[in-house]
Amino acid sequence: MSLSRLATQGMNPIVRMLVISDFFVLAGIGFLGPILPIFIADQIPGGSVKVAGFASAIYMAMWVLQIPVGRFLDRTRGDWDEYIFLVIGGFTTAAALFLFAFAETPLHIYLIQALAGLGRAIDLPAWYKIFTKKIDQEKEGYDWGVENVTVALAVGFASALAGLIVDAYGFRALFLMAGATATVGASILFLLYRSVFPKKVS
């Protein structure tokens, strides 16, 4: 039995699926963590540490949109709207990671970071709302612990692997790997729909 299977055993199936999906999406993002500033400074004409800093700021600034997205989700009833936002946000994030493979200017970097931030702003409120509603009663601490460990493992593993991939295959291979990994995470959400949501959709 794998460690992830052992850790999520006995969890609500929706919560378990969210955690597994999150692992792959965050692993995809984690591939870029230690590498993206180096790519910007060394591989992008006109790129620099300053450009990398602005790119990071743009990504985080887009997270402000979580507030209106969260308010919208709070005003709608049922799980369907949250599921749609979750899927759209996941695939938007994955698409942004793929696009780094084709970036050639600082403007491209800024636009891609804005798209990645938008993806997270769309899916995070939906993810947290579903997780909060479906979390196992009397096991909230355990469920959140599993999620936090999953995040740490995903980002840590991807960060450690990123340098090896770039050294062996180059930056483009890393970005394609990051996008593919995040796409796996977003695609897992279709299993969530098939196993849980059909009965709730008219």
CATH number reported for the structural domain that contains residue 95 in this entry? 1.20.1250.20
pLDDT digits (tens, 9 = 90+) for 22-77: 999 999 999 998 899 999 999 999 999 999 999 999 999 999 999 999 999 988 87
Q: Which residues contact 197 (CB under 8 A, 6 or more apart)?
A: 79, 80, 83
Give one DSSP letter per residue of 114-174, joined into a string. Answer: HHHHHHHHHHHHHHHHHHHHHSPTT-HHHHHHHHHHHHHHHHHHHHHHHHHHHHHH-HHHH
Average pLDDT over residues 126-154: 87
47 found inside a domain:
yes
Task: List Cα–Cα distances, 63 to 81, 106, 111, 115, in angstroms.
Answer: 19, 21, 14, 11
Domains in the chain, number: 1
pLDDT digits (tens, 9 = 90+) for 76-120: 877 788 889 999 999 999 999 999 999 999 999 999 999 999 999
4 found inside a domain:
no
200 found inside a domain:
no
Residue 167: alpha-carbon gap to chain centroid:
24
42 found inside a domain:
yes
151 found inside a domain:
yes
201 found inside a domain:
no
1 found inside a domain:
no
Distance CA 145, CA 139 (A): 10
Distance CA 34, CA 42 (A): 14
Q: Report yes or no: 169 and 44 within 8 Å, Cβ to Cβ.
A: no
Domain with 77, as residue range(s), is 14-195
- Give the residue with greater pLDDT, 187 vs 138: 187
Average pLDDT over residues 172-190: 95
40 found inside a domain:
yes
